Structure 1
Amino acid sequence: MAAKNSSANIFFIESTCSPNPSYRSWCSLESWATQHPEKTVWFILVSPFINDATGVRKRLFNQYSNIRIVTSNLEEIFNETPLWELFNSDKWLKNTTWAEINLSDMLRVALVWKWGGIYADTDSICIKSTSNLTDAVGMGEDMIIINAILIGQPRHKVFWMLMEDIQQNFKGDIWGENGPHAITRVMNELCKTTNFTEIARSGKGCANMRVLPIESFYPIPYQQHKKYTEDRNETDLAKLFNGSYVLHFWNKLTENTPVSAKSHSILNTAAKKFCPVTYKIATLESNFF
């Protein structure tokens, strides 16, 4: 990988070893590439190759000069980080059904700490440029910080501390323990509070890291995930999500819910607008997205 130490990186990870990323994953990449033409969008694969039978990868390459697809050198990424020992111990692989999520939780923070920029989950559609955000994380429900979007300059203290926390408190068999719970612990310690709402309202953050309000990245909480796939009367995204940069559509909960290309759902409307190349290919192959 030839990423430079820069805030101009946007990182995505395919940690499942699948050679067939979903259309929704490609849509996510495309939306971030569209909203950030000045940044390089990296799709980092654990699998050694991608099957491009549908032609979506080729079409995206032709349309966007800022997309890069690379295989991962895990040793290079974890070298000289607090996660080196954990990675080499294989603890993240053993006695767990979440190996790919454990790896992703580790990779994302190491990438942003080492090279700087943005990490985003592949179930996020970017609807507005985040270029005005230098160092930021976002709140979810119940005073939890969610690690689906991480923004930081290289060598940021918060992400070093997050890697240390994951190393020291690693629990491979508990969902979220090495992700949202870990970054929440770190921000609790640095901010000396569990009330992130007040910090978000102040706009100041702590330890040179802003905590953004819920609507910034997670405007629909996971408990209400069906709102993304249901038909609705109002589909003006600018009106619905005026304070949002990203729509995180909770793929583990929505992936088995097909969305008709004729539907008036938030997910269908957002995909049609913010990832037009992917959407066109997906809906030519099927009536559902």
Structure 2
Amino acid sequence: MRRALNGGPRLYRMVGCIGLCLNILAIVYITFNMIYNVNPFHRSGQGCVRLETLDPNEVDMNKSIFFLETNRMPAVEIIPRQACSIESAARANPDRQVYVLVLSPRLECTHNMTAVFRLIAHYKNVKIRHVDFYGYVSDTPAEAFVKSGTMDKGRWPVEQHSDLLRLLTLWKFGGVYMDIDVVSLRPVPMENFVIAEKPGPMLGSGVIGLQNKSIAARAIEMFIRGFVGDEWTQNGPFLITSLTRAVCETDQLPDVNAGNANCGDLTIYQADVFSPIPWYEWPKLFHETDDYAVMKALNNSVGVHFWNKMTKDQPILVGSMQPYAQIAAMYCPIVYGTADEYL
């Protein structure tokens, strides 16, 4: 023992490696703190990652993909399933910027943050930014409506703020809005489009593409005029359906059962493009016995809507044959790789 302590070359090499590793860790820690303003000793609930505020000049007009997190709390958590959607969009669209716009100024640090940090490090096109709600609506068609306080009386403030902010975001920047429970399988089209949903007749509001600012302005006007605080679908799917009828100048929407439809500058995609498994069949996404049918249904899909409102408490076992687990393994491999037993 004394001889080894007094000078074995293997010991010196080992001590040198340990010292080098500690130095690298120190550099990473300092750099991380400088970039993300991290205070690991913050009390839970105050958040430990202060987000950079969105600079409108950094956004590529009509070329970006947007997710929203509209909980107006001191700090919010991006859970692995949300991170999976973000990664899948960045992975499928490497030539597009993927923005996650967060109303909270901070992210809460939990064990789930590992997935977020890894995807930010790997995908340079992922930008998580804070937006101040009142600042964001300033100088927009919705400013007076928001200041009136009408929305503050809504029954579902998180969802209803999201309904408005997705329209304002597309009015400001153009591009594609996606719900944060939609996993991308293929590149998302950059055009004016809405999506059908089964069983119909209403269209969906979970994925919207708009590059025509006049259509977005029309949607905002209809939102303000028709806002209903105690209705779940009125300000989302019903609005998008009404908007499409107005743009198409018809009370009867085109039939999309046989294929996608167009009216003027707007495309209406079949339900299978983004919702191959309709909301009323959501259990199929978690049953191993349904894996073949579900995976086959994805052949012509750009994305998969996972219906978080119904499925948020359903377990996803890592390594299982559950369709959700298989999709995550293929389309958000970094996030999936950070999960322990459940995603």
The alignment's TM-score, normalised by the length of structure 1, stands at 0.91
Tell me the equivalent position of 1:106.
164
CA distance in 1, matches of 2:125, 2:174: 17
Matched to 1:13, the amino acid is L
1:226 to 283, 296, 304: 283
Tell me the equivalent position of 2:255.
198
Contact kept? 2:105, 2:130, Cα under 8 Å: yes
Contact kept? 1:143, 1:195, Cα under 8 Å: no
**Structure 2: stretches of 5+ with no match in the other structure:** 1-53
1:152 to 194, 206, 210: 210
1:10 to 52, 55, 65: 65
CA distance in 1, matches of 2:159, 2:290: 36
Contact kept? 2:193, 2:268, Cα under 8 Å: yes
Matched to 2:159, the amino acid is I
The alignment's TM-score, normalised by the length of structure 2, stands at 0.77
Deviation (angstroms), 1:5: 5.0
Q: Give deviations 1:161-214, integer Å, cap 9, x for gaps.
A: 111111001001110111111111111222244544525756452241100011
CA distance in 2, matches of 1:158, 1:202: 23
CA distance in 2, matches of 1:52, 1:39: 27
Aligned pairs (5 A) from 1:1-289: 1-2=54-55, 3-4=58-59, 6-17=61-72, 19-54=76-111, 55-94=114-153, 96-131=154-189, 133-141=190-198, 142-153=200-211, 155=213, 157-198=214-255, 201=258, 203-232=260-289, 234-235=291-292, 239-282=296-339, 284=340, 287-289=341-343
Evaluate the alpha carbon distance shift between residue 52 and residue 63 of structure 1 in structure 2; reply closer, same or farther with a 3 A threshold. farther
Task: Please give the secondary structure, in 2, of the residue aligned with 1:198.
Answer: coil
Deviation (angstroms), 1:81: 2.9
Q: Give deviations 1:267-289, integer Å, cap 9, x for gaps.
A: 1111111111111112x2xx122
Deviation (angstroms), 1:107: 0.2
Matched to 2:65, the amino acid is I
Q: Give deviations 1:31-58, integer Å, cap 9, x for gaps.
A: 0000011111111111110123332222
Matched to 2:164, the amino acid is M
Larger Cα Rg: Structure 1 or Structure 2? 2
CA distance in 2, matches of 1:20, 1:199: 38
Evaluate the alpha carbon distance shift between residue 268 and residue 93 of structure 1 in structure 2; reply closer, same or farther with a 3 A threshold. same
CA distance in 1, matches of 2:194, 2:180: 17
Contact kept? 2:78, 2:116, Cα under 8 Å: no
For the aligned residues, what is the CA RMSD? 2.0
